[in-house]
Structure 1
Amino acid sequence: MESNAETDSLKRVFGLPTLVIYGVGDILGAGIYAVIGKIAGLSGSLVWASFLTSMIVAALTALSYAQLGSRVPQSGGVACFIHRAFRTDWLSILVGWLMFCTCLVSMATLSKAFAGYLNAFAPVIPDWLIVLALFSGLAFVNFRGMQESSALNIFCTAVEVSGLVIVILVSTLFLIGGTAGAGNPVASSVANQPATGWIAIAQGAA
């Protein structure tokens, strides 16, 4: 019986470094490249407060998942946590489907953003073809196996983090160089914007 259980179990291809990189890529997400303009439009000069609010919520969510994962070491994620807490099948199924729908909406948003960015370099390619090619490529990698998916995730996370690091460095040099201020019309217009209030901050964080 033990040999059959070992044979039927999934092959472990994720180590601690791989899981950490996966978590970093999942937490950062590509949404920061896709919706940063909309967030700034909603929050104005208080866009930093929206990011701070999101950071606090994400930290609380991560701590909650860490606690629940250590207490309920089973596959199934949040649906398993709900079932263990309330002992109700329909509620755990509902939460599982809601999480699935959330992933679909996120995938749709990011694929649309990817098509928009790629159109800047290849405007002749229609959006639907770019999205179709993107999902076909991702599906192919997933069907190949978890090891290939992990390698692709590491590559995408490295590109994503590198882009953010470049933005941070350029912004820091921009501020240290003294080019931001009264002589800069962009900086002046942003600084003179009226406070948009907590509602706009919450909208930007969402």
Structure 2
Amino acid sequence: MNTSAGTGGLRRRLGVFDAVVIGLGSMIGAGVFVAPAPAAGAAGSGLLIGLGLAAVVAYCNATSSARLAARHPESGGTYVYGRERLGDFWGHLAGWGFVVGKTASCAVMSLVVGSYVWPGREHVVAVAAVVALTALNCVGVHRSARLTRVVVVFVLAVLAAVVVAGLGSGTADAGRLAVGADTTVGGVLQAAGLLFFAFAGYARIATLGEEVRDPRRTIPRAIPLALGIALFVYAAVAVTLLAVLGPERLAHSPAPLAEAARAAGLPGLVPVVRAGAAVAALGSLLALVLGVSRTVLAMARDRHLPHALAAVHPRFGVPHRAELVVGAVVGVVAATVDVREAIGFSSFGVLVYYAVANAAAWTLGPDEGRPPRAVPVVGLAGCLLLAFTLPSASVVSGAAVLAAGAVAYGVRGALGRARR
């Protein structure tokens, strides 16, 4: 196995299979257990339309990201693409949006673990989960990939059991899948933005650009594969939840998959679903912390964040300081965050991140693997549309944090000019 170091000492250990599994570990995670309920609350019986719209935008983002990652196989994802293709500011804005948005996602995932493992003490469990997985990431990404593989297999088995039990039960009603008067255009768009929270995991593959073997071939193959599998799984779960619970009951359910298992007449499956939710959240948290730390590493190399965070451990070949700082910040946020509000905030930051990715993909030339022109156009327009149709609190808080990042960039530039 080729384990030669990439730029800055990171080791290339991951092949296509491991890269796909890491992406699935983020996409088929806690999102599938929590996102359908608020999305159904927004779109009603139009939930499946929202899912389809989120998938179209995710496909465009995935295609643009894959082509860019093949051209720029470095840690940092769209932070690097924006910097190289659009200019320093746009790279900074993308990196900032990713870090703050995915920090919120990490907090959500850790709280899902807590709520299923020890209800009433979810914040304590959440912080403990963050500490444990940060330690795992610090001793090597290859161990993280192995654990993620086990998590993905278990979660897929749990979801398959719910789908088979739900659709095979007498409570499933295909009539509940029909779009009714409770569906509005605004509601569908908002649902798509909320469901995008669950689809965004393929970014983990791009941010590992320095740790995959033959990244010019591996990344463009792994991203669409992971997205396609995740879309199939989400569609099957959404159809099952709507057919068994209906849109109104789904919208008000704190644990929709567990409720669907109970409604299907299989109460014995409920503890398995709860265990699956906790394991899925751990898998997502593992991959998310991994991806955020690599973006922090890339930004620290360029001094958009403290340069000390760019250090790579001489033995384990991982950005250990970035890992520790990200883990500490996520732990603090997990102690105070509200799960549903954090989903919207995270979606806003990540949609802005992918808007920059699509704009960067537009600049690729024919000899650089440029995607069809419609792909970055639809992706950019879709990201901005979904971002600004999210719940107003998410839009306001997300825009404020992005503005703070832009101000920090301006201050950094001014100080640099003053020193010269």
TM-score range, shorter chain: 0.7 to 0.9
The aligned counterpart of 2:129 is 134
Tell me, in whole angstroms, the C-alpha distance in 1 between the residues paired with 2:157 and 2:129: 22
The aligned counterpart of 1:94 is 93
Deviation by residue 1:55-89 (Cα, 9 ceiling, x = unmatched)? 11111111111111122233321011111212x32
Structure 1 residue 69 and structure 2 residue 64: aligned?
no
Counting aligned pairs with the same residue, the percent is 27
Q: Which structure exhibits the higher relative contact order, with contacts defined as CA atoms closer than 8 Å and separated by 6 or more residues?
A: 1
Whether the aligned pair in 1 keeps the contact of 2:136 and 2:144 (CA below 8 Å) is yes
The aligned counterpart of 1:196 is 183
Alpha-carbon shift at residue 191 of structure 1 (Å): 6.3
The aligned counterpart of 1:149 is 144
Tell me, in whole angstroms, the C-alpha distance in 1 between the residues paired with 2:64 and 2:177: 36
Tell me the TM-score normalized by structure 1: 0.79
Tell me, in whole angstroms, the C-alpha distance in 1 between the residues paired with 2:117 and 2:180: 32
Tell me the TM-score normalized by structure 2: 0.41
Tell me, in whole angstroms, the C-alpha distance in 2 between the residues paired with 1:58 and 1:95: 17
Q: Which runs of 5+ in 2 are unaligned?
A: 194-420
Tell me, in whole angstroms, the C-alpha distance in 2 between the residues paired with 1:135 and 1:51: 30
- Name the SS of the counterpart of 1:76 in structure 2: coil
The aligned counterpart of 2:207 is none
Tell me, in whole angstroms, the C-alpha distance in 2 between the residues paired with 1:40 and 1:77: 31
Alpha-carbon shift at residue 103 of structure 1 (Å): 0.9
Tell me, in whole angstroms, the C-alpha distance in 1 between the residues paired with 2:23 and 2:176: 37
Counterpart code for 2:103:
L
Structure 1 residues 13 and 98 mapped into 2: Cα distance closer, same or farther (>3 Å)?
same
Counterpart code for 2:106:
M
Instruction: Please list, as runs of the form range in 1=range in 2, the aligned pairs for 1:95-174 lying within 5 A after superposition.
Output: 95-119=94-118, 123=119, 126-174=121-169
Whether the aligned pair in 1 keeps the contact of 2:40 and 2:191 (CA below 8 Å) is yes
Deviation by residue 1:68-120 (Cα, 9 ceiling, x = unmatched)? 1122233321011111212x32331222111111110111122222222223x
Instruction: Please list, as runs of the form range in 1=range in 2, the aligned pairs for 1:27-66 lying within 5 A after superposition.
Output: 27-66=27-66
Aligned-pair Cα RMSD in Å = 2.6
Deviation by residue 1:120-142 (Cα, 9 ceiling, x = unmatched)? xxx4x612211111101111111
Counterpart code for 1:89:
D
Deviation by residue 1:146-203 (Cα, 9 ceiling, x = unmatched)? 12111121122222222222222223323xxx5444xxxxx87886963321111111
Counterpart code for 1:147:
H
The aligned counterpart of 1:21 is 21
Tell me, in whole angstroms, the C-alpha distance in 2 between the residues paired with 1:26 and 1:152: 13
Tell me, in whole angstroms, the C-alpha distance in 2 between the residues paired with 1:192 and 1:20: 34
Tell me, in whole angstroms, the C-alpha distance in 2 between the residues paired with 1:19 and 1:37: 29
Number of residue pairs aligned between Structure 1 and Structure 2: 189
Structure 1 residues 13 and 109 mapped into 2: Cα distance closer, same or farther (>3 Å)?
same
The aligned counterpart of 1:184 is none
Tell me, in whole angstroms, the C-alpha distance in 2 between the residues paired with 1:80 and 1:189: 45
Tell me, in whole angstroms, the C-alpha distance in 1 between the residues paired with 2:176 and 2:81: 48
Tell me, in whole angstroms, the C-alpha distance in 2 between the residues paired with 1:117 and 1:41: 22
Deviation by residue 1:8-64 (Cα, 9 ceiling, x = unmatched)? 743322122111211222333421212222222222111111211111111111111
Tell me, in whole angstroms, the C-alpha distance in 1 between the residues paired with 2:138 and 2:172: 49
Structure 1 residues 173 and 189 mapped into 2: Cα distance closer, same or farther (>3 Å)?
closer
Structure 1 residues 192 and 76 mapped into 2: Cα distance closer, same or farther (>3 Å)?
closer
Counterpart code for 1:22:
I
- Name the SS of the counterpart of 1:11 in structure 2: coil
Structure 1 residues 37 and 85 mapped into 2: Cα distance closer, same or farther (>3 Å)?
same
Tell me, in whole angstroms, the C-alpha distance in 2 between the residues paired with 1:66 and 1:190: 34
Counterpart code for 1:197:
T
